[in-house]
Structure 1
Amino acid sequence: MTDLLWDDVKRFFDPDLMGPLPDVRVPNASVEDWQAVLDLVAEKEWKCQYSEGETALQVPRAEAVLSRLADAECPSLRVWPTADVLAIFRFLADDEVDFDVDLRELQGQGRLDVFCGFLREIGRRLGKPVLMDPEGDYGHPVLGFDVEVDRVILLADPQGR
């Protein structure tokens, strides 16, 4: 299922315009939502790697990760929904699931479809929107999964109007 057409949105996937690592987020989240994402990764059998600093570890429960000491290194979970698309989740706060993607990996319709499918899986599991903001422009999403229409939609004009 194609949510978005590459020719309509390729401007939003231009690393020079959007920054190479846009912010993808699920606002108004909870520890339970983080755990649901971890469970989804396991259920889908997506390749993943959890680490704290440079140390790779088994994926813990979300509650354990999010209750770490304030001065502890920020853990990350690298998830590959396909071999050539990587999402890096960072456990910065329990009230927002956030991750980065590299726009240089998301070029063309095929990769866009993988990305939209990934957003759909997360959004459906949580029953919440999944939003993509340009790098460093938090709060101004350009596209995202909309729970009501059950698909990824545009939230900004790709022509910049």
Structure 2
Amino acid sequence: MPDLKWDDVKVLFDPEVNGVLPDVVVERTTVEDWQLLLDLVREQGWQYAYSVDGEPTELTSAAAMAEATHPGETPELRVWPINDMLLIFRMYQVESIDFDVDPSELQGQERLDVLMDVFRLIGRRLGKSVLLSAEGDLGHPYLGFDVDADRTVLLVDPNDPRM
């Protein structure tokens, strides 16, 4: 049984309400955490593409990603855990793992379950919580994987009119 039910959270994935690309973050990370993420992507067999400043390049290591991080140049890792579901990881800084998801690709219980499985895998591998919020509003997460509870959790009331 899923931790979150689509009918309870679908308003959170409505681009008309919450922006085009919800933001996801793992805070207080290191190069080692980024490497764990890269290893996880490869181990899961997820399709991926890597680029720096829009130029495709070979993905070697998180340390190389960190070296490529300069003002105006952001390493970007595009990951497809399943067909038609894209996660875009951007290394703005080593100290957080930031990525976007497209809400149009997350419609329905099956897609929500896949996303929550990805959160769970990342959170368990890194030993850190993975939090999703509206685009540009990282201070107010909606839901995510709570590492202490070892499950995905809803952090807001989707029916609250202040949403």
TM-score bucket (shorter structure): over 0.9
Q: 1:79 to 1:69 in 2, by over 3 A?
A: closer
Provide, for residues 7-59 of structure 1, a one-character-per-residue CA deviation record: whole Å limited to 9, x for no partner: 01111111111112011000111111011000000111100000113321111
Provide, for residues 60-116 of structure 1, a one-character-per-residue CA deviation record: whole Å limited to 9, x for no partner: 211111123624521100000001211000010000011000011101111101110
Runs of 4+ in 1 over 2 A off after TM superposition: 67-72
**Structure 2: which 5+ runs fail to align?**
none
Residue matched to 2:56? 56
Deviation at 1:2, TM superposition (A): 1.3
Residue matched to 2:158? 158
Residue matched to 1:98? 98
Give the aligned CA root-mean-square deviation in angstroms.
Answer: 1.3
Is 1:3 aligned to residue 3 of structure 2? yes
Is 1:86 aligned to residue 86 of structure 2? yes
**Structure 1: which 5+ runs fail to align?**
none
Range with bigger deviation, 141-150 or 87-96? 141-150
Could you tell me how far apart the structure 2 residues matched to 1:141 and 1:21 are?
14
State whether residues 49 and 79 of structure 2, in contact with CA within 8 Å, keep that contact through their aligned partners in structure 1: yes
Could you tell me how far apart the structure 1 residues matched to 2:21 and 2:55 are?
23
- Secondary structure at the residue paired with 2:135? coil
Residue matched to 2:113? 113
Give the letter for the 1:74 counterpart.
Answer: T
Could you tell me how far apart the structure 1 residues matched to 2:69 and 2:106 are?
35
Residue matched to 1:22? 22
Q: Give the fraction of aligned pairs with identical amino acids, expressed as a percent.
A: 53
